[in-house]
Homo-oligomer: A and B are copies of this chain.
Amino acid sequence: MNRKKNITFDDIAKYTNFSKTTISRYFNNPDSLTLKNQEIIAQALVDLDYKENKVARILASGKTEFIGIVIPFLHNHYHLEMLTQILLTYEQFGYKFLVFIGNGEKETERQYIDELLAYKIEGLLILSFTIPSRELADLPIPIVTIEREDKYVSSVNTDNYMGGVQATSLLAKHGCDILIHLNTHTSPSIPSYGRIKGFLDLCEEKHLNQRVIYKDIGTEYETMKKNMGEILDEIEAEYSGMKKGIFVSNDTNANVLLNLLIRKYGRLPDDYYIVGFDDSPISREAVMSISTVGQQIDKIAFEAVSLLVEQMNERKKRRPTPLTEPVHKVVTPVLLRRETTEH
């Protein structure tokens, strides 16, 4: 903020012989001025090279048009793409975003939220998993979470259950003898648990031979390769000769499995069918394109901001009717058949 000489409403008022109030009206309710006076002021704006100061406006009006975001520090495609899509909603809603990257520590993330609150954000989007929704619900502004535990707050998530069903059905259709799901142990309170449940329910319904392998594969590529290698060895030993349908919890891991197979056999053996989850870039860029369940990240981002803005607007009414119950929206995923199942 240049301490020197910023042109203010006062300057414009003097220059045009109107009052500050009239200048303010020119911006907020121009129709209340005569056309002629509007023109006079418009000209003065140009003559004086006026630049607006939103900080002053916020202080006076109480409307920041800021939304806070707390996103976990993950290098995965999903969160980064989600952030991008959220930022892009500026075009539709006009809200500006103040972004903090969480580090997984409760105390730090609480501090971030306090800082956001100090900037008078009007709503908060939480993607980070650190702070339980019970605590978030007590914040004095509307909250919407994305793809995390959301019992006490509103949220937008992928329909993970349907995604699990879709992936499993695809493998079932190919007549696999054994359906295997690879995942980590996941709490039922987390949306992605639906992937496991979808898998299990469909297998039960269709009386399919199934197995869930719970194992944390790790995040370093070399570690992932090693852990996945062990899983693969076990699968090869256990289900040799059978047609194997493997639903992997995400594309990154599915790709590790695929690479292992390709390097072992030079190509994907006929008795392997693989489906991933996320439609992340790797699913397209892999040696063979990986069938996957695509999350509609743009839709989720839009719905989340939309839901948030609705609640923010509700608060601005004279007689606000705040939500009594958290709203949980769900976005349908899209099954993408690619080479790892259509070979």
CA distance A1 to B58 in the complex (A): 9
If A1-B63, A73-B88, A99-B99 are given as contacts, then 7 extra A-B residue pairs at C-beta distance below 8 Å, sorted by A number, are A1-B58, A1-B62, A2-B140, A54-B118, A75-B81, A97-B99, A98-B98
Is A213 interfacial (CB 8 A cutoff)? no
Is A134 interfacial (CB 8 A cutoff)? no
Interface residues on chain A, size class: 35 or more
Known contacts A56-B59, A87-B100, A87-B101; A281/B75 CB under 8 A = yes
Is A207 interfacial (CB 8 A cutoff)? no
Is A31 interfacial (CB 8 A cutoff)? no
Q: 23 A–B contact pairs at CB < 8 A?
A: A1-B62, A1-B120, A1-B122, A2-B62, A53-B118, A53-B120, A55-B120, A73-B84, A75-B81, A80-B81, A80-B84, A83-B83, A84-B101, A87-B99, A87-B100, A88-B101, A90-B100, A221-B284, A221-B285, A259-B286, A259-B287, A266-B267, A286-B287
CA distance A122 to B2 in the complex (A): 9
Closest chain B CB from A139 CB (angstroms): 11
CA distance A64 to B63 in the complex (A): 16
Contact residues, A66-121 vs B (CB, 8 A): 73, 75, 80-81, 83-84, 87-88, 90, 96-101, 114-115, 117-120
Closest to A54 in B: B118
B-chain residues with CB within 8 Å of residue A232 when the two chains form the complex:
none
